[in-house]
Amino acid sequence: MKPIKVGLLGLGTVGTGVVRIVEGHQDDLFGQVGSPIRIEKVLVKELEKARGIAIHPERLTDNAWDIVNDPEIDIVVEVMGGIEPTKQYILESLERGKHVVTANKDLMALHGPEILAKAREKGCDVYYEASVAGGIPIIRTLMEGFSSDRIKKIMGIVNGTTNYILTKMSQEGAAYDEVLKEAQALGYAEADPTSDVEGLDAARKMAILATLGFHANIALEDVDVRGISQVNKEDITYAKRLGYEMKLLGIAERQDDQISVVVQPTMVSKSHPLAAVNGVYNAVYVYGEAVGETMFYGPGAGEMPTATSVVADLVAVVKNIKLGVNGQTALMPFKEKKLKTEEQIAYKNYILLHVEDKAGVLAQITQVFAKFEVSLESVVQQPNAQNPDAEIIIVTHAGSQANMKKVLAHFEQLDVVKSIKSVYRVEG
C-alpha cells in the first residue's frame, strides 16, 4: 500500500518527538488511517551533527527546497519556528498542493489569515494545534467541540515559563530575578526571556484563540499586553493574604459582538480552578452560552506533549486525504472585528498605595473613586514596619478601564499619595 510521505522542517526538540511517535507508533497510525505514514525527508541545520535519534543520512537535507519541491511529499510538517523564511516555505508548499501541519504560533498569529486563504485557494489543509498550549487540544476543541455554542470568554494560562516563575515566587517566597535565572538554567526560559516574561508569547497565542473563538480576525496588535517583570515578592505576599494567586492570564471576552483581548498579571481567586495550575502547566478556561464553564489542562510545552499534538494534526490531514475533503476544514474569520473601547472594558482592580500617615487621607482616597464612579469592594490599611508611610490596599468592584485610568492619574497629582506601588486585575 502506498505510504503517505511527510517532509519535516526542523529536527529540534519537537521535531525529534514527531519522528519518535511516527516511527514508534506505525501500527496504531496505520489502524487509524489505513496507510503507512513515512517521514521521507528531514530539514536540519547541520548534516553531520550527532542526534538523539537515529535517522538514515539519506533522509536528511540542509536545503528546505528539497522538501518543498519534492513531488512525492504529500504533507509538510513545520517545527523549525520563526517567521522568515518559514512563511515562504509554507506558502510555497501550499502552492504546490502540499498540506501543512505547523507548531508555529508566531507565524499563525501574524500571518494566519494569509496562510489559511492560500490553503483554501489550493484545496489544502493547514492544521496548527501545537501552536497553542502544547499537548492540550484546545484549537480543535474551539473549532469542533464548540461549533454549536457561542463563546463568551476564553481565559487561560498559556505560557509555562511565566507560570513556573510565578509559582516559585508564590510557593517559596523567591525573588523574580532569582527564579528567572533558575528557569533559564533548567531550560524553561530562553537566554533572552523577553518574549515570555513580557507577555508577547502569550499574546500571540491569545490572538489565535480569540480569532477561533469569536470568528473575527484578531491581530497581535489588538491584544493589550503587560508582562510579569515588575511583579515582586510584596505583590505575591499581599495577593495570598487577600485569597488570591498571581498568574499571567490571557483573557479574551465578547459581549454583544464587542471584543477585548488582554494579557496581564492577574490576581486569581484561590477558589478558581486556574489558581491551582502550577509550574510549567497550561490551562484554558472557556465560557460558552450553552455549555457554561469548561477547563482544559495539561503540559504546555516539551518534546512529547507538543509532538503529540503535531502528529494528531498529521493524522487528521491523512484522514482528509482518504476522504477527499482536504481544504474544507479551515475556519476562516467571518465576522467583522469590533473591539471594545476603554469605556466598555470593565473588571475588578487591586491597588496598593503608599500614602501619608495622617488623619483624613483615607477619605480623600475614597472620594477620588467616588468622583470617577468606581465602587470599592474592600479597603485595608496595612501596617509595614519597613515603610514609614501608610499602606492602603484597595480592591474595587468592576469598573471601566477608562475610569480607572482617570483614578490613577488623579492619584499621581494628589499630594497625600506618595506612590502607586501596584495595580493588578482581579478575576474569580
Residue 331 falls inside a structural domain: no
CB 77 within 8 A of CB 5: no
Average pLDDT over residues 215-232: 96
- Taking the C-alpha atoms of 131, 135, 137 and 139 in order, what is their torsion angle to the nearest 10 degrees? -10
The Cα-based distances of 351 to 233, 246, 377, 403, 419 in angstroms read 15, 14, 12, 14, 11
User: Is 197 in the same domain as 58?
Assistant: no
Distance from C-alpha of 390 to C-alpha of 358, rounded to nearest angstrom: 8
CB 263 within 8 A of CB 202: yes
Q: If residue 37 lies in a helix (H) or strand (E), which one and from where to where?
A: strand 37-43
pLDDT at residue 300 in the model: 83
Confidence class for position 299, pLDDT limits 50, 70, 90? confident
Residue 144 falls inside a structural domain: yes
Say how many C-beta atoms besides its own lie within 10 A of residue 224's C-beta.
Answer: 17
* Total domains, the chain: 3
| Last-in-domain residue among 290, 323, 356 | 323
3-state percent breakdown (helix, strand, coil) of the chain, nearest 5: 40, 25, 35
Question: Is the per-residue pLDDT at 301 higher than 80?
Answer: no
CATH label of the domain that carries residue 389: 3.30.70.260
Confidence class for position 385, pLDDT limits 50, 70, 90? low
pLDDT at residue 134 in the model: 83
pLDDT at residue 384 in the model: 65
User: Is 162 in the same domain as 286?
Assistant: yes
Residue 152 falls inside a structural domain: yes
Domain of residue 415: give its range.
346-427
The pLDDT tens digits for 330-376 are 677 888 999 999 999 999 999 999 999 888 899 999 999 999 999 99
Average pLDDT over residues 149-171: 96
User: Is 266 in the same domain as 156?
Assistant: yes
Catalytic residue among 5, 205, 340, 348: 205
CB 206 within 8 A of CB 263: yes
Identify whether 205 is a catalytic site residue. yes
Question: Is the per-residue pLDDT at 213 higher than 80?
Answer: yes
The pLDDT tens digits for 273-287 are 999 999 999 999 999
User: Is 317 in the same domain as 355?
Assistant: no
The Cα-based distances of 406 to 109, 339, 367, 375, 380 in angstroms read 32, 21, 13, 14, 22
Question: Is the per-residue pLDDT at 304 higher than 90?
Answer: no
Residue 340 falls inside a structural domain: no
User: Is 143 in the same domain as 263?
Assistant: yes
Say which amino acid occupies 361: V
User: Is 307 in the same domain as 421?
Assistant: no
CATH label of the domain that carries residue 316: 3.40.50.720
Q: What percent of the chain is predicted at pLDDT more than 70?
A: 98
Residue 94 falls inside a structural domain: yes
Which range is most confident: 63-77, 124-138, 325-339? 63-77
User: Is 294 in the same domain as 310?
Assistant: no
Question: Is the per-residue pLDDT at 308 higher than 90?
Answer: yes
Half-sphere exposure of 391 (CA within 13 A, CB side): 14
User: Is 293 in the same domain as 308?
Assistant: no
Distance from C-alpha of 227 to C-alpha of 249, rounded to nearest angstrom: 10
Query: Is pTM, for the whole model, over 0.85?
Result: yes
Question: Is the per-residue pLDDT at 21 higher than 90?
Answer: yes
pLDDT at residue 383 in the model: 65
Residue 341 falls inside a structural domain: no
Q: Nearest-CA neighbor of 358 among 418, 306, 285, 271?
A: 418
The pLDDT tens digits for 225-266 are 999 999 999 999 999 999 999 999 999 999 989 999 999 999
Phi, psi of 233 (to 5 degrees): -60, -35
User: Is 223 in the same domain as 245?
Assistant: yes
Residue 278 falls inside a structural domain: yes
Q: Nearest-CA neighbor of 383 among 393, 374, 373, 375?
A: 393
Q: What mean pLDDT is reported for the chain?
A: 93
Question: Is the per-residue pLDDT at 272 higher than 90?
Answer: yes
Q: What percent of the chain is predicted at pLDDT more than 90?
A: 82
Q: If residue 224 lies in a helix (H) or strand (E), which one and from where to where?
A: strand 223-225
pLDDT at residue 7 in the model: 98
Question: Per the structure block, which three cell numbers stand in for 70?
Answer: 519534492
Half-sphere exposure of 284 (CA within 13 A, CB side): 28
The pLDDT tens digits for 31-69 are 999 999 999 999 999 898 888 888 998 999 999 999 999
